[in-house]
Amino acid sequence: MPRLLVVDDDNAFRLSTAALLRADGHDVDVAADATAAVQALRARAYDLVLLDLRMPGIDGIQLVETLRVWGESVPVLMISGYGTVESAVRAMHLGTDDFLTKPVEPDVLSARVAELLERRPMMAGDDAAVGGMVGRTEVMRSLFASLRRVAPQDTTVLVTGETGTGKELVARAVHDLSPRVASSFIAVNCGALGEGVLESELFGHVKGAFTGAVRDRAGVFESAHGGTIFLDEVGEMSASVQQRLLRVLQEREVTRVGSARPVRVDVRVVAATNRNLAELVESSRFRQDLYYRLAVFPLVVPPLRERRADIPLLVAHTIERLRDRAPDGANLACSSFAIRLMRNYDWPGNVRELMSVVERAAVDAGFRRIEAQHLPPELRQGADAASEARYRATRSADDERDAIVAALEQTDGAIARAAELLGMGRTTLWRKLKQYGLTSEAS
């Protein structure tokens, strides 16, 4: 059960908010001021803090500053009845993860809390995690369900998807969830080896079969007897290797290069490609009979741009892995604005690219809090236009408000520059500032 702390000097708001969050299934503590909040935070670990901006004594922004000085990376949702552009921008610069203005609709608050909690690292045994993969979107849940169905069988599996989507992770999960888990899992990149080398690697050879064959050598099909072979980039195989592989799949036996004596093998094959094998078959560059043998049970890994809602989860998962390498005393985290920029990017390199970007950003941030400035230029520059189109087409007014706050954060509250980033006129932006209760004297 997620553990939340509500900090607000308004007794009615504090108690009603706590009641709402408890009804949503959360474990909720309350504090009437910053001093009580500090005591609570030192006594317990929290998954999220909901914090009033203006309170007697130490205000919300000062408390956030104190938390970040401690190195405490707990997510903070700032809520204020005095919403201004300056206060929202300052709060987010200091490490607040989100900002809402009172009065807050219960449904909006519940949804925002759920979104922030979703960024927590996956727990062991979560049904949204299989092998080294995580995802809560419908396409990933469907993939996980199909994977769990086929893994216990001995069926040949064909994994398709763009580069960087995690096809080898799918193959390893098939092996790990199968009765063959105690035996070998051997991966071979078919596109990285020449035809003769690949033949010898897969099927083995006998002494004297070719120049340099000074002794008999077993191939991976023999070495993986009882286990699983993962054939990556199978679409790059030559016609000769395709023919030999087809015989192995049909006869369950392998013949070493230069030998006439077949050897029985018991191996499960999982193949993968980022190419369209059906099109290769149509153009006679891939054997149709081999295609049917490999594609008995196809699994399609979706590109990251088709499951953007998983990005906060993937970022949290990557950060959790990186924490083991962080220097002592470092508390690695990621700001909500940085995640928003990541969600707006198309990720041509998919999950592999995302993990690389997060790791590089973590190093640039000194393994503390990843902010927008730690991200590559292509994420910071290309996200705004795409983001505006996406916000205009699909997002609610509440998300439009978030986009405005994010643009103002990026431009340090400069109205003219923020309007340009958002693709709207200054007059329109001023009207929306008033509409959402974000008044400002900025120019």
Give the per-residue pLDDT at 392.
Answer: 41
pLDDT of 189 reads: 92
**3-class DSSP state of 17:** helix
pLDDT at 85: 63
| pLDDT tens per residue, range 209-230 | 777 777 888 889 999 999 999 9
Q: 218 and 173, same structural domain? A: yes
Least confident of 73-82, 155-164, 289-298, 378-387: 378-387
Q: What is the pTM of this model?
A: 0.61
Could you report the per-residue pLDDT of 139-192, keeping only the tens digit for each?
888 999 999 999 999 999 999 999 999 999 999 999 999 999 999 999 999 988
Strand segments, DSSP code E, in 261-331 are 262-264, 268-273, 297-300
Is residue 68 located within the same domain as residue 149? no
Residue 235 belongs to some domain of the structure: yes
Nearest to 44 by CA among 55, 54, 36: 36
pLDDT for res 128: 60
| Residue 442 resides in a domain | no
Model pLDDT, residue 144: 92
Condensed to tens digits (0 to 9), the pLDDT of residues 236-286 reads 999 999 999 999 999 999 988 888 888 999 999 999 999 999 999 999 999
pLDDT value for 403: 66
Determine, yes or no, domain membership for 441. no
Does any domain span residue 131? no
254 and 237 co-located in one domain:
yes
**Phi, psi of 4, deg, nearest 5:** -120, 150
Task: Give residue 237's pLDDT.
Answer: 92
Taking the C-alpha atoms of 27, 29, 34 and 39 in order, what is their torsion angle to the nearest 10 degrees? -100
> Is there a single domain that holds both residue 293 and residue 309?
no
Instruction: Determine how many CB atoms are found less than 10 A away from the CB of residue 195.
Output: 12
Residue 443 lies in a domain: no
Q: What is the pLDDT of residue 73?
A: 64
Which residue in 269, 302, 311, 309 sits closest to 394, CA to CA? Answer: 309
pLDDT per residue as tens digits for the range 81-138:
765 566 666 666 666 777 787 778 887 888 888 878 866 544 434 456 687 788 877 8
Query: The domain that contains 369 carries what CATH number?
Result: 1.10.8.60
Shortest CA distance to 145 belongs to which of 179, 187, 177, 186?
177
The token duo for 427 is 């007059």
Number of other residues whose CB lies within 10 A of the CB of residue 301: 23
CATH number of the domain encompassing residue 64:
3.40.50.2300
Q: Tokens 């996956």 appear where?
A: 122
DSSP 99: E
Residue 129 lies in a domain: no
Q: Which of 273, 300, 327 delimits the end of a domain?
A: 300
Instruction: With beta carbons less than 8 A apart as the criterion, state whether 183 and 228 touch.
Output: yes
pLDDT at 204 over 60: yes
pLDDT, position 8: 85
Tokens found for residue 295 = 């594609």
Domain end point (choices 300, 317, 344): 300
Q: Is 323 found in the same domain as 295?
A: no
pLDDT attached to residue 410: 60
Residues 319-364 have pLDDT tens digits of 888 887 888 777 787 876 788 788 888 999 999 999 999 999 999 9
pLDDT at 292 over 90: yes
Do 177 and 148 have their domain in common? yes
pLDDT at 441: 41
What pLDDT is recorded for position 123?
Answer: 40
pLDDT of 41 strictly over 60: yes
Where residue 231 sits, what CATH number does that domain have?
Answer: 3.40.50.300
Assess contact for 294 and 156: CB atoms under 8 A.
Answer: yes
Say if residue 279 is in the same domain as residue 401.
no
Residue 181 CB neighbours (<10 A): 12
232 and 109 co-located in one domain:
no
Same-domain check for residues 295 and 329: no
The answer on 373 and 282 residing in a single domain is no
pLDDT of residue 151: 95
Q: Is 126 part of a structural domain of the chain?
A: no
Taking the C-alpha atoms of residue 31 and residue 2, their distance in angstroms, rounded to an integer, is 17
Residue 169: enclosing H or E segment and its boundaries?
helix 167-176
- Domain edge (last residue) among 300, 332, 364: 300
CA dist 51 to 59, 79, 227, 369, Å? 9, 6, 54, 19
Same domain, 215 and 86: no
Domain containing residue 425: 305-435
Considering the domain boundaries, does residue 124 fall inside one? no
Tell me the average pLDDT across 195-206: 85
Higher pLDDT, 361 or 399: 361
The count of structural domains within the chain is 3
Query: Are both 107 and 252 inside the same structural domain?
Result: no
- Please tell me the predicted confidence (pLDDT) of residue 406: 63
